[in-house]
Amino acid sequence: MFPRDFAWGAGTAAYQIEGGWQADGKGASIWDTFTHEGGRVFGEQNGDEACRSYELWDEDLKCIQTLGLTHYRLSLSWARLLPDGNTRHVNQKGVEYYNKVIDDLLACNVSPMVTLYHFDLPQALQDQGGWKSAGTATLFDSYAKFCFHTFGDRVKLWITINEPYVCAKLGHEDGIHAPGLKEPGTAAYLVGHNMLRAHAMAWHSYDSLYRAQQEGAVSLAINSDWLEPLNAGCTEDIAATERVLAFTLGWFAWPVFVTGDYPEIMRSAIDAQSEKTGCSSRLPSFSKDEPAILGTADFFALNYYTSRKVKQGGGCGEKLCMKSDRDAGEVLHPSWPICGVSWLAVVPQGLRKLLKYIKNNFNNPAVYVTENGFSQVGPLQTEDVQRAEFYKDTIAEVAKALQEDGVNVRGYFAWSLLDNFEWADGFSVRFGLFHVDFADAKRKRTLYRSGWEYAKIISKNRCGQS
């Protein structure tokens, strides 16, 4: 049983579904640039049209209503609203689009959870240094204030930045996400730092200028796997697990929820490796002259997909990179089934364990599971029995976390409402509760069996049945 006011949702992101990449005055984003460069994405695919949600929003709304969602998580395209990344030029067509989306949701008794940044920086700001530039945090704060002012009378749940870990590491260390930079061991830490600064500025802006009138809540979405030592009795594996947790979940949660600074275990590991390679510390420090990081989340927004076993070692020697800093290897347990993509082991119980860990280590916050899903690759299976079972099993684990472990879980958002553009995997990986036919100009949406099962779970719980 879930509380009557439990949030039942599904999520999407602007670049992954909207299309209309140049429509009605929208500016280019780093993902427009990245995909158009070629050689970056499966099948040379891109999000130029994607699900065409910019034109077909009414179809998305029907999908939302079919599922019986109480909440819908969407992201705003910064470049659609502010094509140059700053508030000097506002694209009114973009404002109208998001106003319609928000108003339509509310008219259907669906509460919007709005993400300000989901990987798609305006290219104009990347040209000025992107997230490596300290000034981007200030520009983000201006953008956030614009959105709070424009939409905040109706939006009560805000996410500032989605998965800063992914933006930092995949976009600036590994180079497999936009903007495609490979600057190992340095850029990711700087980017993560500026994203935290941006988040804190935006939270303080909301707190001082809008909270009293709008009465909303603001957080950032942190992704993390559940991690356990490969050998539970091995002190080296236990230490390695703590290190990896510090470098993933802790990197962003520790400053916001615990101390206002990075985990000591993370800083000391980076400093030790820096000493070995003869360079100065690469993890920036927070300035006392800037808005405080600590306490800048009104709830914990968690994106969880999978789990890993961790063992000592796995760095790359003296080489400067995040892998060497962590000095730990991650492995999949053979008992865990894989769904679709190779990295996605199905471990529903890992979510319960992670929720309990968050309760115990981050001062028992209110938690929303803001992303969780199961992928499909290869031939289309609309009778996706395994995914349907996955949702049943996972939601049962969330219920245990809530009822047996006392975790203050407030909501669950499936990823994703629709099959969409899954970043470097293009359209080859499908996470949707609805299948989207990308060969059809009208992008026909068809309910998967898993979508039907999720709708059934929602309906039972909203009716107060166990």
**Residues noted as catalytic:** 371
What single string gives the DSSP state of each residue in 80-147? HHSTTSSTTS--HHHHHHHHHHHHHHHHTT-EEEEEEESS--BHHHHTTTGGGSTHHHHHHHHHHHHH
Q: CB–CB of 421/354 below 8 Å?
A: no
Dist CA 143 CA 87 (whole Å): 7
CB atoms inside a 10 Å sphere around CB 87: 14
Backbone angles phi, psi at 270, to 5 degrees: -65, -45
**What do you get for the CA distance between the two ends of the chain, in Å?**
5
Token pair 């959870």 is found at: 113
Q: CB–CB of 225/305 below 8 Å?
A: yes
Q: Residue 53: exposed, middle, or buried by beta-carbon count in 10 A (0-12, 13-18, 19+)?
A: buried
9-32 burial: b if 16+ Cβ within 10 Å, else e: bbbbbbbbbbbbbeeeebbbbbbb
**What does each C-alpha distance from 463 to 106, 226, 398, 430 come to in angstroms?**
20, 32, 18, 30
